[in-house]
Amino acid sequence: MERPALILLYALTITLGVVAYWPSLSVPFYLDDFSSIVDNPLLTTDWGLLNQHYFGRQLTYYSFALTYEVFGEEPLVYHLTNMVLHLAVAASVALLSKRLVTIVGGGRAYQHYCIFLTFALFLLAPLNTQAVTYIVQRAALLSALFYVLALWAYLGARTYGGKQRLIYTIAVLVFISMGAISKQNIVTLPVAFLLLELFLFKTVSRLWQWVLYSVLAVGLAGLFAIDLIPNLSEHSLLHVIDQATRLQTEMPRYEYFAHQLVILWQYIYKFFVPYPLLLEYPTTVYSATSSQVLLSGVGHLAVIVVAISLRQRLPLITVCVGLFYLAHSVESALIPIVDLAFEHRTYLPNAFLAVLVGSCLAGLLSRYRLRTVVFVAIALTLVFTFLTYKRNELWGKPISFYRHELTHVGDNWRSYAALGLFEAKRGRFKHGVKWLRVAIKVGSERGQLQAKPVIAYMDLLHKTGNTPRAKYIGVLAAKSFTRNQDKSMVWSKLAQYQVEHGNCDFAKGLIERSLQLDSSNIIAQRLARACSP
């Protein structure tokens, strides 16, 4: 394919990407956008505190703070930034694909098709919309950008010599540094480099391969074994490791891993059949030995075994499969998180899935006439463009969006709470109170309730002059929550009401209790400074 034709093809694809995400520019703030941007006091105060509170994601929140400083609460600018970042990530994935196919070889037609299909698939994949359109998930965009660029630069450093190698090596270090302040999953990059050495460059001897596999197996087994040790001392090294590698305390690590074995297949299915896409997926509680978990585990193991068996003939497939699972290993395997499934967690893994699918399609399409290739490429891009456009269009209609959620998920406290907050933001306080009550009721019945809807309900009562009722609800909630973070948030809200009425002496006890439960609570920290002499 000639260069002018390629340029035209990429230009048309970028245009389709802009069209697909155009509706996102009119999408309002959702859910955590409010606590992270609109109502986040750190964005307008001390960037040092911002750095401290969002350690590991500083770059994401610096970008929010800068945008807030210049443009305030205008969603358009935040969405436009995310759209540009998504285009940049898609371009970086195409660059990575180009470098990979150059190393593994193949005909010129195959390489062109692989790079283009990878670019189009990732740019237009409807499954990526949550990471792009849900503003607060900018962390996923930034970390994916620097993760992919670090891999691209590493391959450059391994391929070239002289000054180019030095430049690429410096680039690797820069991209790792930027990724380290974007999102925590950058920690898997050293293992990604090792995967490239094992299966692409084949520089690791068989003996050292077995040593590495053994060390990895022992490390993972040790991480899971921590859950089985009773009565760990809070000051022991094992307890520190356990707490540093989890974002929720209720579910044992092995149970979380078992659930993710099933959820990973849902993610893969949604990449190819992106309907219905949801903000939050209904999660069935599985035992670690259930048939669904076992079958899912066997399926993943089969994929990995097949990929490794192809390492000599088709190393690109082996590398992509390895990177896909590695990219999922933090949020969708080893680190227990409160919410079991969210689409934005697939954003980085989708980059490697796009390369994998693009390379397989390119291998098939390079054997047929150009007309067939063009027809398939156009059909694929148009279908994905349409589905992505419709998903973004739905994001722009909050009422329809939440109805869609409730239709496919059923009673879900998060959707009811979001609906209540949306109504409250529009000044429809009665409707807001109604939906927040439903959210609290559903969440309580299912044992899933978190502090945010309770605090939103308290605030609505407070704004409508029913502060005693708000305080009563807060005290009941603080005593019923099991997570320290939820308790801390409620106590700090109760302290805030006291400070607003000039009762700092009484508020100090509530502030102290809040900080004892969660020393990183921003509201409690600010109230403590406000009440200090």
Q: Is 202 left (phi over 0), alpha (psi -120 to 50) or beta?
A: left
Give the model's pLDDT for residue 428.
Answer: 86
What's the pLDDT at 266? Answer: 93
Element holding 138 (H helix, E strand): helix 138-159
Q: Quick one: tokens of 240?
A: 């520190």
Domains and CATH numbers, the chain: 3-238+344-395 (no CATH), 424-531 (1.25.40.10)
pLDDT tens for the chain, 533 residues: list them.
567 778 888 899 999 999 999 999 999 998 888 888 888 888 876 677 777 778 788 899 999 999 988 898 889 999 999 999 999 999 999 999 999 999 988 778 788 889 999 999 999 999 999 999 999 999 999 999 999 999 999 999 998 888 899 999 999 999 999 999 998 888 889 889 989 988 888 877 666 666 666 666 666 666 555 555 555 555 555 555 555 555 655 677 778 888 888 999 999 999 999 989 998 887 777 777 788 889 999 999 999 999 999 988 899 999 999 999 999 988 877 677 777 888 999 999 999 999 999 998 888 777 766 677 667 777 888 999 999 999 999 999 998 998 898 888 877 888 888 888 888 888 888 888 888 888 888 888 877 778 888 888 888 888 888 888 888 888 888 888 888 888 899 899 888 888 888 888 888 888 888 888 888 888 888 888 888 86
Q: What is the pLDDT of residue 508?
A: 85
Specify the pLDDT at position 467. Answer: 85
Peptide bond into 276 cis (omega under 30): yes
Q: Which of 501, 499, 500 is nearest to 532 (CA)?
A: 499
C-beta separation of 478 from 443 below 8 A: no
Which pair of tokens denotes residue 85? 């970042």
pLDDT of res. 229: 58
Task: Specify the length of the chain in residues.
Answer: 533
**Could you tell me how far CA 173 lies from the centroid of its own chain?**
23
